[in-house]
């Protein structure tokens, strides 16, 4: 089940498998052949490695991951890992409010009943913990458990230090300076700088029972298969690497209003989009992530439910500005590429399950601002900017981009990247070499320094991004978040951005925060660290038996509302 089958027929002519590359000498696949015949493929469903359970109240979900996300309490595989093996099992002091469909998901109290910024020190936050909460193994959740987990992530010499989980957490909370226990039900955290958006970082710090680590003989590798205990509405009951993770309802969950309606959940990694659709049609799963766009009409006609909706998502190419010989150091080149992309053509190819992206935020967002550049498909302007930077038909711009074969938020990366590759060549004479790798390999590359060997010379990475809040913006673009310490992989720095971000971080007046947010986003457009391509519309396909699902404006979902009828 964990093997990679995500390349569509014919794609091998242009987009190669892990570690290999495609050159401009190879034949570009015509757009009409980007998607294979869904009906033909669905008729021959790929058998799953494990049979579906007989229990009618077990919800079966096909993920896009090539392997199951790690199960120690800080899952890998990006936000798909957090969506299915993070929040349902392991919770944070603060949680996402996933009840609304008409506005971006906000924050709500989780394992902390409340949090406040210290009136004496804007760098310090106080968290009052929720009483009477227990981990799945029955041990109490308290301040000692909080500090133990924070040491796991942030204290390299602690006995429970977990390097993979630490790398993920530190990148999401790059401004953590310290923390301490105040009493059994109160902790404080201190940041390196004042940050009004710090709660939007705390939401990503998840908590595992210290007893899980002790039971596994102080070995995180063994914790992953125990299974580990969290505090969430579901608990892990079985882990079969590369095949399946089984969850069961936590009948002792602390929030009585959110007890799950299904008895359990089975999570299966099926990276190939056509295999996912075949599994849904054959009744092997009840729910699939990212159905192939060409298959959506036939699924609807067959009675399956298709859900879509706006959410904070960007599908870009992230420029490698910091590499020694990167052609993308020149802002004119970065702007030119943004004028050379036919976003509308790509949306059409995707049957409308995306919308054009001309900035980190959507153009309709009230915080988009008024940048000088409003990117459209304008090859003439793109070629003029390239010429100013020294790139012409006689000396074309050439670079390599690393992409994934599947993964969280990656949509359908192989045909989409083939489209962009062909588009840039036809519209502006840009030669792009594509290196397709597994999703986790790409995520590792995104945390590397610009000249790291793991990048294999890539001048751009296709890693989708959330755009949900200022905390994420700071993690991706602040100078203090340069890789490998944060998510600023391009090592992009902009003085105007930094000044406005500082104002935003220290502000308390809503009008001042709004003005500063517009100002920082304008810099992300006019001095672009990314090639903005599309925003996903978050499609999912489900059996008609699945009821009660809410599609929030978030990368995450609430599985507790779902039932099978």
560 and 421 within one domain: no
190-194 mean pLDDT: 95
Within 8 A by CB and 6+ apart from 21, the residues are 400, 433, 434, 435
Confirm whether 15 is domain-assigned: no
Does position 24 have pLDDT exceeding 70, yes or no? no
474 and 448 within one domain: yes
492 and 384 within one domain: yes
480 and 350 within one domain: yes
The verdict on whether omega for the bond into residue 227 sits within 30 degrees of 0, i.e. cis, is yes
Instruction: Give backbone dihedrals phi and psi of 352, rounded to 5 degrees, phi first.
Output: 80, 15
Q: Output the pLDDT for position 233.
A: 98
Q: Are the beta carbons of 179 and 150 closer than 8 angstroms?
A: yes
Beta bridge partners of 383: none
- Tell me the C-alpha to C-alpha distance, in Å, between residue 212 and each of 160, 164, 236: 11, 17, 12
Confirm whether 331 is domain-assigned: yes
Q: Are the beta carbons of 215 and 202 closer than 8 angstroms?
A: no
Does position 537 have pLDDT exceeding 70, yes or no? yes
Q: Are the beta carbons of 278 and 71 closer than 8 angstroms?
A: no
Beta bridge partners of 134: 140
Give the pLDDT band of residue 18 (cuts 50, 70, 90): very low
Does position 27 have pLDDT exceeding 70, yes or no? no
78 alpha carbon, distance to own chain's centre:
5
Q: Which of 333, 320, 338 is nearest to 531 (CA)?
A: 338
Instruction: Give backbone dihedrals phi and psi of 314, rounded to 5 degrees, phi first.
Output: -130, 135
> Higher model confidence: residue 287 or residue 486?
287
287 and 198 within one domain: no
Distance CA 193, CA 196 (A): 10
Confirm whether 13 is domain-assigned: no
Confirm whether 25 is domain-assigned: no
Tally of structural domains, the chain = 3
Confirm whether 224 is domain-assigned: no
417 and 285 within one domain: no
Q: What is the mean pLDDT of the chain?
A: 90
Q: Output the pLDDT for position 486.
A: 81
Q: Output the pLDDT for position 508.
A: 83
404 and 491 within one domain: yes
- Tell me the C-alpha to C-alpha distance, in Å, between residue 335 and each of 328, 374, 476, 500: 10, 10, 19, 22
338 and 306 within one domain: no
Q: Output the pLDDT for position 56.
A: 52
Confirm whether 7 is domain-assigned: no
60-79 mean pLDDT: 95
Confirm whether 219 is domain-assigned: no
161 and 126 within one domain: yes
Tell me: the pLDDT tens digits for 354-381?
Answer: 999 999 999 999 999 999 999 999 999 9
Tell me: the pLDDT tens digits for 296-339?
Answer: 999 999 999 999 999 999 999 999 999 999 999 999 999 999 99
373 and 276 within one domain: no
298 and 155 within one domain: no
264 and 173 within one domain: no
Give the pLDDT band of residue 35 (cuts 50, 70, 90): very low
CATH number at residue 78: 3.40.190.10
What is the domain range of residue 547? 52-88+232-311+539-565
Does position 1 have pLDDT exceeding 90, yes or no? no
Distance CA 282, CA 271 (A): 17
pTM of the shown model: 0.83
Confirm whether 9 is domain-assigned: no
CA-based R_g, the chain, Å? 23
Q: Are the beta carbons of 33 and 298 closer than 8 angstroms?
A: no
Distance CA 129, CA 135 (A): 14
Beta bridge partners of 269: 63
| CB atoms near residue 444 (< 10 Å) | 16
């Amino acid at each position: 089940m964990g093997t990679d089958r995500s390349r569509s027929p014919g794609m091998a002519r242009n987009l190669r498998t892990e570690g290999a590359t495609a050159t401009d000498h190879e034949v570009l696949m015509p757009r009409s052949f980007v998607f294979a015949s869904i009906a033909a493929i669905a008729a021959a469903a790929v058998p799953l490695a494990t049979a579906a359970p007989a229990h009618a109240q077990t919800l079966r979900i096909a993920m896009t991951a090539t392997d199951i996300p790690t199960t120690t309490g800080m899952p890998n595989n990006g936000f798909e890992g957090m969506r299915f093996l993070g929040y349902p099992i392991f919770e944070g002091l603060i949680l996402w409010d996933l009840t609304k469909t008409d506005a971006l998901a906000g924050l709500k109290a989780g394992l902390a009943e409340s949090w406040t910024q210290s009136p004496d020190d804007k760098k310090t936050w106080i968290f009052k913990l929720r009483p009477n909460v227990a981990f799945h193994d029955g041990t109490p959740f308290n301040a000692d458990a909080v500090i133990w987990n924070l040491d796991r992530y942030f204290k390299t010499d602690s006995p429970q230090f977990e390097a993979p989980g630490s790398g993920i957490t530190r990148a999401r909370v790059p401004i953590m300076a310290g923390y301490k226990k105040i009493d059994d039900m109160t902790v404080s955290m201190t940041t390196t700088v004042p940050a009004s958006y710090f709660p939007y970082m705390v939401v990503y710090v998840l908590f595992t029972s210290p007893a899980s680590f002790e039971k596994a003989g102080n070995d995180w590798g063994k914790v992953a298969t125990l299974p580990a205990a969290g505090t969430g509405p579901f608990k892990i009951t079985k882990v079969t690497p590369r095949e399946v993770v089984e969850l069961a309802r936590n009948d002792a969950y602390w929030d009585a209003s959110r007890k799950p309606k299904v008895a359990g959940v089975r999570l299966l990694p099926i990276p190939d989009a056509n295999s996912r659709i075949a599994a849904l049609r054959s009744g092997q799963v009840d729910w699939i992530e990212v159905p192939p766009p060409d298959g959506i009409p036939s699924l609807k006609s067959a009675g399956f439910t298709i859900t879509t909706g706006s959410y904070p998502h960007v599908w870009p190419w992230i420029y490698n500005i910091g590499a020694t010989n990167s052609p993308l150091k020149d802002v004119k080149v970065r702007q030119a590429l943004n004028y050379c992309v036919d976003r509308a053509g790509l949306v059409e190819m995707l049957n409308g399950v995306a919308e054009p992206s001309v900035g980190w935020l959507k153009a309709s967002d009230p915080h988009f601002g008024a940048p000088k550049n409003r990117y459209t498909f304008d090859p003439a302007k793109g070629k003029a900017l390239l010429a100013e930077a020294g790139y012409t038909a006689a000396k074309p711009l050439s670079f390599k981009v690393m992409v994934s074969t599947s993964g969280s938020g990656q949509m359908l990366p192989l045909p989409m990247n083939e489209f962009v590759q062909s588009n840039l060549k036809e519209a502006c004479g840009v030669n792009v070499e594509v290196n397709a790798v597994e999703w986790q390999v790409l995520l590792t590359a995104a945390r590397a320094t610009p000249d790291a060997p793991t990048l294999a010379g890539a001048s751009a990475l296709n890693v989708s991004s959330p755009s949900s809040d200022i905390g994420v913006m700071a993690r991706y673009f602040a100078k203090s978040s340069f890789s490998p310490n944060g998510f600023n992989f391009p090592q992009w720095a902009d003085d105007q951005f930094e000044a406005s971000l500082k104002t935003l971080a220290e502000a308390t007046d809503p009008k001042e925060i709004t003005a500063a947010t517009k100002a920082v986003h304008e810099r992300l457009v006019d001095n672009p660290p990314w090639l903005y391509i599309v925003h996903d519309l978050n499609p999912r396909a489900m059996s008609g038996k699945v009821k009660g699902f809410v599609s929030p404006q978030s990368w995450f979902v609430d599985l507790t509302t779902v039932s099978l009828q």
